[in-house]
Amino acid sequence: MKFLQLSVLPFLIVILSLNGATLAHPYGDFLHCLSLRISNSSTISKVIYTQNNPSYSSVLNASIHNTRFATPTTPKPYAIITPRKTSHVQSTIFCSKNHGFQLRIRSGGHDVEGVSYVSQVPFVILDLVNFRDVKVDTKNEVAWVQSGATTGELYYGIASKTQTLGFPAGICHTIGIGGHLSGGGFGILGRKYGLAADHVIDAKLVDAKGRVLYRKSMGEDLFWAIRGGGGNTFGVVLAWKVKLVPVPPVVTVFTVNKNLEQNATKIFHRWQYIAHKLPNELFTAVWVMKVNSSQVGKKTVQAGFRGMFLGGVDELIPLIQHEFPELGLAKENCTQMSWVQSILYFGGLPIQPVDILLNRTALPVSSLKAKTDFVREPMSETGIEGFMNLFLEEEADFAITMIEAFGGRMDEIRENELPYPHRAGILFESTYIVQWANEADSGRYINWIRRLYSYMASYASKSPREAYYNYKDLDLGTNNIVGYTSYEQASVWGLKYFKNNFKRLVQIKTKVDPMNFFRNEQSIPPL
Ligand code: FDA
């Protein structure tokens, strides 16, 4: 019976036509292998999307968040697998391994270098779009969340049960849990509670041998590594058990915009000395971008001071007036709302019913390049001025730098507690992003952000110049696409992302995936 079902499947043997000759390709073997293992033909049609499938492009593009990697010349996967059961994941690993396909795992598709859906060698995508369950247990203040869910789906799941619990993860609500927690996860609750990864208390992982492991069975080394050591390195994480954190029913958000003509440089200079020392309940950030000036036809640069306070406006105003009077915060700059609404506010969405958090395509996508820095010493006023002036250039029309204050809980967690090492002594993290509309111009924009990054070299952390893995930057160095990558070669970028934790990550990788099945341009290589 099984044989009959399979024999009618059109994709069992794929023949590539090459200059009139025909050539059997391992793709056919891969599909044959996977179809045999899944066995039920109606399930197969919901799980395997080959290039012949009319839905292939829409499934591929559904969660691409950097259109720089969605051009006609971008390498495409031989197939996209959207598993519905753990056994489908195990089978995909088995068949990819046995038939020479690289596996790219995708949860939310926000990887800024596109490594979850692009590879230079034959590859298939394991897309966890159907692994999206969120189970919130308010009594024990925990949740099990599957990797394919977004942060927005988790936030919504929590907020629909309680107004007094939250989760400290990233700002944008469309980010996938799988990639986000694998690399750290910093957001507006970060100064109070640390990273998303700091709150992971268990996980379900399928390893390179296809074994299903939980914290107890994977052991503390591997459990340490998956909480910040990067995705697609140690296995496929299917779900995470996270500890929720208390939030007050009312929080206060604010924005005060200052441009160059309104002393933005001086206020930003002052902010650097204050923001990391403010009470942990107060998160602040500065968003720098080009805006229209009050003089018609002219542009200026704006520093937008934004904040979220875990308390009411009446407590916030005197606090800021005392600690940071230069900001001139007034009641009209502030809005009180629930914690979950503050996610919309920081995500740049109008305040509206929070079920928008369930919309995975609510935010526009563009072509972009990102880079990050961690800053440990305040920049000089002239240094800030030079930085801001770079935003007056033409290529910065759609550029933004998001500068987020650290300190608070981040100062208290040891550098080696998790693979993410950027903790005590960081004043702020800067995420530089440049976007463009026309792919043909990408070179100019990428050059601009590289110049901005060179400019910041004298102000950023040094030896190593630290970088945040969740905003991958392949300019920092890459693994060899095929074959062996030495420890020394990978250290060039690895030490920037993980500092002294890189060595331990390599040791763990060597133990759990010595053949380097799970790999990408910046995955941890085995020895
Ligand atoms: P995606 O699916 O692209 O995966 C990213 C990486 O993880 C890839 O290498 C992938 O193979 C791997 N991976 C994914 N799922 C996996 C799984 N289940 N098991 C194993 N490996 C897996 N960061 C932050 O800290 N705070 C923030 O506020 C933001 N905001 C933000 C906004 C926007 C618009 C973007 C584009 C990015 C951010 N980020 C961020 C960065 C974000 O945290 C980072 O890109 C995450 O890796 C995204 O996770 P996804 O699952 O969406 O990515």
Task: Give distance in angstroms: CA of 178 to centre of ligand 1.
Answer: 7
Counting residues of the chain whose pLDDT is more than 70, the rounded percentage is 95
Q: What's the CA gap between 278 and 477, in Å, rounded?
A: 36
The residue among 43, 15, 49 whose CA lies nearest residue 29 is 15
Binned average pLDDT, 10 residues per bin, the chain of 527 residues: 30 30 63 93 93 96 96 96 98 96 97 98 97 98 98 98 98 96 98 98 98 98 98 98 98 98 98 98 98 94 98 98 98 98 94 92 92 98 98 97 98 98 98 94 97 98 98 98 94 98 98 97 98
Atom index in ligand 1 nearest the CA of residue 114 equals: 3
For the purposes of burial, counting CB atoms within 10 Å of the CB of 405, is it exposed (0-12), middle (13-18) or buried (19 or more)?
buried
Atom index in ligand 1 nearest the CA of residue 177 equals: 51
259-294 pLDDT, tens digit each: 999 999 999 999 999 999 999 999 999 999 999 999
Q: Per the confidence metrics, is the pTM higher than 0.85?
A: yes
Task: Give distance in angstroms: CA of 109 to centre of ligand 1.
Answer: 7
343-365 pLDDT, tens digit each: 999 999 988 899 999 999 888 89
| pLDDT of 364 | 85
Q: What's the CA gap between 209 and 271, in Å, rounded?
A: 50
Question: Computed from CA positions of residues 460, 464, 470, 473, in that sequence, does the dihedral angle turn out positive or negative?
Answer: positive
Rounded to the nearest angstrom, the gap between the alpha carbon of residue 399 and the centroid of all alpha carbons in its chain is 18
**Integer angstrom CA distances of residue 481 from 6, 95, 495:** 35, 20, 20
Task: Give distance in angstroms: CA of 230 to centre of ligand 1.
Answer: 9
For residue 445, which amino acid is it? Y
Q: How many CB atoms lie within 10 A of CB 289?
A: 17
Cβ < 6 A, ligand 1 pocket: 65, 104-112, 115-116, 128, 147, 170-172, 175-176, 178-180, 182-187, 231-232, 236-237, 470-471, 520
What is the DSSP secondary structure assignment for residue 48, as one 8-state letter? Answer: E
Q: How many CB atoms lie within 10 A of CB 326?
A: 16
Residue 497 annotated to the active site: no
Q: What's the CA gap between 502 and 504, in Å, rounded?
A: 6
């709150």: which residue's tokens?
199
| pLDDT of 201 | 98
- Active-site residue, from 471, 484, 487, 497: 471
Task: Give distance in angstroms: CA of 233 to centre of ligand 1.
Answer: 14
| pLDDT of 28 | 82
Residue nearest to atom 1 of ligand 1 (CA): 109
The residue among 46, 64, 66 whose CA lies nearest residue 55 is 46
